[in-house]
Structure 1
């Protein structure tokens, strides 16, 4: 069983690039989290730490 817990902090809103404001994961990463092994989860967490959110370019609003 995986020792790495989901980084979800229950702020489940995405920016215009499909990146969650709460955990900084992409929609694909969130959906596949339970399928990833620990090494894959570590890689996702590493990528998420380096992401920043973008506003919706069509409306200027940060939430979809």
Structure 2
């Protein structure tokens, strides 16, 4: 997992981290609100990359911790 190289534009770190948090916390309601309103213009892709990274991380955690 740590060898993933994810490229996001400068200044999109917060949207990326928000996507990871929403994925790990399984916050589907926030996902819909976040994509619609709360993200700055152009940050949707960075948020979605964060969701994908969080989903992969969650999968790895679930494999390790049973």
Q: Do these two structures clear the TM 0.5 threshold for a shared fold by scoring above it?
A: no
TM-score between the two structures when normalised by the length of structure 1: 0.37
TM-score between the two structures when normalised by the length of structure 2: 0.36
Q: Which has the higher contact order (CA 8 A, sep 6+)?
A: 2
Higher helix share: 2
